[in-house]
């Protein structure tokens, strides 16, 4: 007995060219944003043990590193400071001579055309490691908003191209937009970490920025169990004026990404976080996966779910792989 399928999907899979011309989603160099760690008080790059291949750079080498990445095709970088000047409120971030402002000026002087984004939070700059002002063992939302306004205006004065608040404070986008607009920075867009979960996938990042904190961030970052609230968080930030929305982490939250995409036409980003990166590296180093194939498949999953932009520590590798074809 001969069985004849009603329709043969395999017709369009017969050759590489056929597969390419009907491919629904594509990854481009312009989709990638590279996180860069800059540490005070060092003269040479420092390897981050939990994130093989990732380093903290001294300020003196930031410009050269960004010029090298620009030549590879990177068009956007987000800067994270590793500060020696920590206090209870992260005041170094609203100083024009502080690490955040210096890094922005250095980056823009080195590669004026690169999109330089500042991660606007306090965890890397506070002695307690939390994302704002701690009162009675919890982060005070409204006091933190006041400090965040000072921080983003400082970043704007330094020449930043985009603000990216990651602290998950209620009302943060409205507060940031008000501060920027009142100081004449109407043109600076805000990419909000609009749906950021209290995730176990962040572990290696805390090593990267030397941010060890007591307790948890469960009162201000999202419960991983909540999908409806995840959508509401991003819709709230869109309503307050966020130019770009973001979901963090990535792979465990593809459903959240897809749901936000169905409800919003704003550009949507995802942060492929340190733990996701480290797991792929560990599996690749153990010889149980093809690193390049798994990374490319992961990035396409983000695109398929609805993301436009991807923050990833694999950005440099991806630029090289995409150039190879």
| Whole-number pLDDT of residue 209 | 53
**Residue 288 corresponds to which tokens in the numbers above?**
């149980």
Q: Is 9 left (phi over 0), alpha (psi -120 to 50) or beta?
A: alpha
Q: Maximum distance among all alpha carbons in the chain?
A: 81
Q: How far apart are CA 187 and CA 177, in angstroms?
A: 10
b/e string for 248-286 if b means 16 or more Cβ within 10 A? bbbbebbebbebbbeebebebbbbbbbbbbbebbeebee
User: Does 314 have pLDDT greater than 60?
Assistant: yes
8-state DSSP, 98: S
Active-site pick, 86, 108, 214, 248: 248
pLDDT digits (tens, 9 = 90+) for 165-207: 998 899 999 999 999 999 999 999 999 999 999 999 987 656 6
Are 258 and 280 in contact by the 8 Å Cβ rule? The answer is: no
pLDDT digits (tens, 9 = 90+) for 14-64: 999 999 999 999 999 999 999 999 999 999 999 999 999 999 999 999 999
Mean pLDDT of the chain: 93
**Residue 20 corresponds to which tokens in the numbers above?**
């390419």
8-state DSSP, 190: B
Active-site pick, 108, 196, 281, 303: 196
Q: Does domain 26-324 have CATH number 3.40.50.700?
A: no
User: Does 128 have pLDDT greater than 90?
Assistant: no
**By percentage, how much of the chain surpasses pLDDT 70?**
96
Whether residue 190 has a cis bond before it, omega within 30° of 0? no
Stretch 140-161: mean pLDDT: 95
**Residue 146 corresponds to which tokens in the numbers above?**
């006041």
| Whole-number pLDDT of residue 131 | 79
Residue pointed to by tokens 């990854």: 27
Q: Is 237 exposed, middle or buried (0-12, 13-18, 19+ CB in 10 A)?
A: buried
pLDDT digits (tens, 9 = 90+) for 258-310: 999 999 999 999 999 999 999 999 999 999 999 999 999 999 999 999 999 99
Annotated domain spans of the chain:
26-324
Q: Is 248 labeled as catalytic in the residue annotation?
A: yes
| Whole-number pLDDT of residue 295 | 98
Q: Is 157 exposed, middle or buried (0-12, 13-18, 19+ CB in 10 A)?
A: middle
Are 277 and 213 in contact by the 8 Å Cβ rule? The answer is: no
Q: Is 292 labeled as catalytic in the residue annotation?
A: no
């Amino acid at each position: 007995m001969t069985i004849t399928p009603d329709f043969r999907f395999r017709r369009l899979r017969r050759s590489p060219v056929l597969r390419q011309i009907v491919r629904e989603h594509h990854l481009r160099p312009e989709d990638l944003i590279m996180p860069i760690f800059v540490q005070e008080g060092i003269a040479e790059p420092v390897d981050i043990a939990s994130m093989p291949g990732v380093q903290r750079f001294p300020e003196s080498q930031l410009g050269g590193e960004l010029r090298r990445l620009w030549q590879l095709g990177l068009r956007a970088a987000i800067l994270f400071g590793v500060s020696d000047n920590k206090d209870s409120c992260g005041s170094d971030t609203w100083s024009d001579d502080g690490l955040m402002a210096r890094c922005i000026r250095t980056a823009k002087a080195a590669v004026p055309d690169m999109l330089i984004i500042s991660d606007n939070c306090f965890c890397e700059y506070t002695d307690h490691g939390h994302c704002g002002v701690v009162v009675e063992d919890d982060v005070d939302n409204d006091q933190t908003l006041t400090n965040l306004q000072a921080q983003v205006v400082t970043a704007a004065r330094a020449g930043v191209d985009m603000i990216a608040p990651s602290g998950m404070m209620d009302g943060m986008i409205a507060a940031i937009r008000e501060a920027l607009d009142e100081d004449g920075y109407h043109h600076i867009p805000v990419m909000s970490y609009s749906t950021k979960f209290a995730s176990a996938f962040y572990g290696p990042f805390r090593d990267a920025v030397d941010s060890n904190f007591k307790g948890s961030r469960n009162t201000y970052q999202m419960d991983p169990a909540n999908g409806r609230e995840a959508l509401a968080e991003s819709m709230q930030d869109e309503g307050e004026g966020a130019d770009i929305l973001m979901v963090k982490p990535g792979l465990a939250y593809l459903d959240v990404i897809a749901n936000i995409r169905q409800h919003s036409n704003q550009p949507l980003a995802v942060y492929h976080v340190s733990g996701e990166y480290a797991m792929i590296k560990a599996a690749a180093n153990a010889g149980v996966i093809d690193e390049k194939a798994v990374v490319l498949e992961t990035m396409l999953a983000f695109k398929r779910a609805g993301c436009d932009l991807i923050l990833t520590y694999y950005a440099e590798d991806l630029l090289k792989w995409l150039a190879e074809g």
